[in-house]
Structure 1
Amino acid sequence: MSKSRKLIFYATLLYTLLILYFMFFAFGRGDTAADQYTFIFELDNFLKLPNPSELFPPTLMDLVGWGNTAAFIPFGILIPWLYGVKFVRFMLGFFASILVLETVQALTLLGSFDINDALQNSVGAAIGFAAYAIGKRVQNVKKSLAVMAVSVALLLAANWTVGFGVDWVIAEKPGPFVALNEWENGGGSSAENVEPRPFEIGGQTVMPEFNLYGAEDRKTKTYRYKLDDKASYFYLQYGIPDSGDFEGSIRVSVNGQEVLSNSEQYQQHAPDVFEWHFDQPAELTLTLEGGEQAWDVGYRKLQHRWE
């Protein structure tokens, strides 16, 4: 083995050991081992790198996002430089190796198996291989390394741009507001909202736009609604009007789990806003007591740009 090949071999070995250290032991993995196996197979736009506006100052997760791609670029340069392997064979072997390491991370409870990480790692290796293929055409070693460095920067920028383009196209955004005007009451029959009317809270005039709910005769009243959409945001505003005694409470439950509980003891003399994100169909329960009012209750369904 020539001197240059020995240098490349030892550089590859040392860099591999460094990557393995970060994958299994860095960031306090041994001290904060998971208590269950975690396998993530859902794709989450693996091309996307951190937004420039989010990098000032950079957080640990920003660095991880960059590292998942950039840290594996050297493998795409060193391994084909050392063994002269073809692109398809290199990528198949690299991706298989990453899947094995991700699996070991999960089974040893030192991390999780995340298909997005494996794909990001592979994108980095592919960028390195492409940069090596471009740079090796230059005979002068120093110029070849310079060409590789420039190629890596340009390919990273291209990957970044494509990632944001994909995200822009497929990202789901909240759609039009849908008011919830037909609930079921505690007895299972239809319970419509009362006619919206203006009232004051803390001297501020409130004019509900879509609906208004309250407890009749200042007693407890419960409303139920089944939300069939898988991904949406639920909204409502609430408060205790100035008229009458300042007493009342509100509770919101999702599939039997309470997500909002507030009463006059903790409320301010001002309207308040509540928002909750759903990622699956759910049954909503809204319970009002005393003088508590809830208005403009509804949701926005998450949808793609073309919907």
Structure 2
Amino acid sequence: MQMKQHRKITFFITIGYTLIILYFMFFAFGRADKVDLTSQYTFIFLPDDFFRVPGLSDLLHPTLMDLVGIGNIAAFIPFGILFPLLYRTSFVRFMTGFILSILVVETIQALTFLGSFDTNDVIKNSLGAAIGFGAYKIGFRTKNYWRNITATGIASAVLMLGVWGVLGVVDQVFTKELAPFVAINEWEDSTGNGLTGTKQDSLKIGGQDVTPQYNVYGIEGKKKETYTYSLGNKGDLYLSLNYGIPDHKDFQGSIKVTVDGHELLSVSAEDQLHEPDMRILYLTGAKELKITIEGNETLWDVGYREMVYTWN
């Protein structure tokens, strides 16, 4: 009799919790108010950030996205506990049914403009359900119902922290970050120009004192100079350069930056202010870089930061 009562309570809890989750998935966060503003379906089939969850430091000042990221896992843990309590099922059968159900819900979200179909969410939701099922298997080992509930709750917390830690490690392994700055004069200039990266103490541009840290490029006594660099096997780069025309020179000249024959930057004196300026250019898979200077233009602290994995 007691088992039937527990089963009945579990059934109503499952129904109630399911309705709450469906409300959040379809109507919370002002979703209904945005329906009229949406004119196209959103389907994200390729997972790209399912392992990105906020770190412990992020939770000290959590944003809505941080809470959603954790919630997409934690909110579905109860399903992995409640359904096995109602129906005897294997892990494979349970996860198959759960994933199919989530796929249907995500599809309805997209088709009703009340959300999007996002594979990242499917994976996170399924992780939560798997954690719950694992906690159920660990916790329900005795005949004492409430002791089992307590053990399952503790197991859920431990497994959640474990998965959170693993996802954090995976995030670090597969996330790129900016490497330290490398001055461009450390590359080999394929033209063999001996003036490449000549450094001087200071410049005065627009009345401002400028102190270069790495290099200075100019064309003293010439009308034009092109510096050519082979980028080798570099991947994604952020190329930065500072430029301007020194105060003691006529305000005329130009700069061009060309990568693999494509002009990425062209600046002439007519387009400049009488003050130092800076540009950052994104390069990906580039093989050859050319910097062409004309007139009195001066470049300094030209270099790059490469996007690399932390283990590099």
**What's the TM-score bracket when you normalise by the shorter of the two chains?**
0.7 to 0.9
Decide whether the 8 Å contact of 1:47 with 1:159 is kept in 2. Answer: no
Query: How far is 1:224 from its partner?
Result: 9.9
**281-290 vs 14-23, which moves further:** 281-290
Contact 1:48–1:160 (8 Å) recurs in 2: no
Work out the CA distance in 2 between the residues paired with 1:36 and 1:191.
Answer: 55
User: What aligned pairs does 1:211-290 form with structure 2 within 5 A after superposition?
Assistant: 212=217, 231-244=236-249, 265=273, 274-275=279-280, 277=282
User: Does residue 1:163 correspond to 2:167, yes or no?
Assistant: yes
2:221 & 2:13 partners in 1: Cα distance?
A: 76
Aligned to 2:81: 77
Residues 181-221 of structure 1: per-residue CA shift (max 9 Å, x gap): 799xxxxxx897854332324553423524526899999x9
Instruction: Please say if residues 76 and 127 of structure 1, whose CA atoms lie closer than 8 Å, have aligned partners that are also in contact.
Output: yes
Q: Which moved more, 1:225-234 or 1:87-96?
A: 225-234
Q: Contact conserved, 1:105 with 1:112, CA < 8 A, in 2?
A: yes
Query: Which residue is equivalent to 1:65?
Result: 69
Correspondence 1:42-53 to 2 at 5 A: 42-44=46-48, 46-53=50-57
* TM-score of the superposed pair, with normalisation by structure 1: 0.75
Q: Distance in 2 between matches of 1:136 and 1:194?
A: 72
Shift of 1:306: 5.0
For structure 1, which segment, 124-133 or 192-201, has the greater mean C-alpha deviation from structure 2 after superposition? 192-201
2:305 pairs with one of 286, 300, 304: 300
In the alignment, is the contact (CA less than 8 A) between 2:255 and 2:266 conserved in 1?
no
Larger radius of gyration: 2
Q: Which residue of 2 aligns with 1:139?
A: 143
- C-alpha change, 1:35 and 1:306, in structure 2 (3 Å) is same
Please, what TM-score do these two structures have when normalized by structure 2? 0.74
The residue correspondences of 1:3-82 to structure 2 (distance < 5 A) are 3-33=5-35, 34-44=38-48, 46-82=50-86
Contact conserved, 2:197 with 2:215, CA < 8 A, in 1?
no
8 Å CA contact retained: 2:257, 2:263: no
Amino acid across the alignment from 2:4: S
SS in structure 1 of the partner of residue 305 of structure 2: strand
Structure 1 pair 54–306 and aligned structure 2 pair: CA distance change class (3 A): closer
Give the drift of 1:248.
8.5
Specify every segment of 5 or more residues in structure 1 that has no aligned partner in the other structure, as ranges. Answer: 184-189
User: Does the C-alpha gap of structure 1 residues 195 and 143 become closer, same or farther in structure 2, counting only changes over 3 Å?
Assistant: closer
Q: Distance in 2 between matches of 1:145 and 1:259?
A: 68
Paired position in structure 2 for 1:207: 212
Cα distance in 2 between the residues matched to 1:83 and 1:259: 69
Matches within 5 A, 1:55-134: 55-134=59-138
Q: Aligned pair in 2 of structure 1 residues 13, 41: CA closer, same or farther (>3 Å)?
A: same
CA distance 1:136–1:303, shift in 2 (3 Å): same
Match of 1:186 in 2: none
Q: Distance in 1 between matches of 2:292 and 2:23?
A: 53
Sort the Cα spacing of 1:274 and 1:258 in 2 relative to 1 into closer, same or farther, 3 A.
closer
Structure 1 residues 251 and 9 mapped into 2: Cα distance closer, same or farther (>3 Å)? farther
Compared CA separation, residues 211 and 134, structure 1 to 2 (3 A): same
Structure 1 residues 305 and 28 mapped into 2: Cα distance closer, same or farther (>3 Å)? same
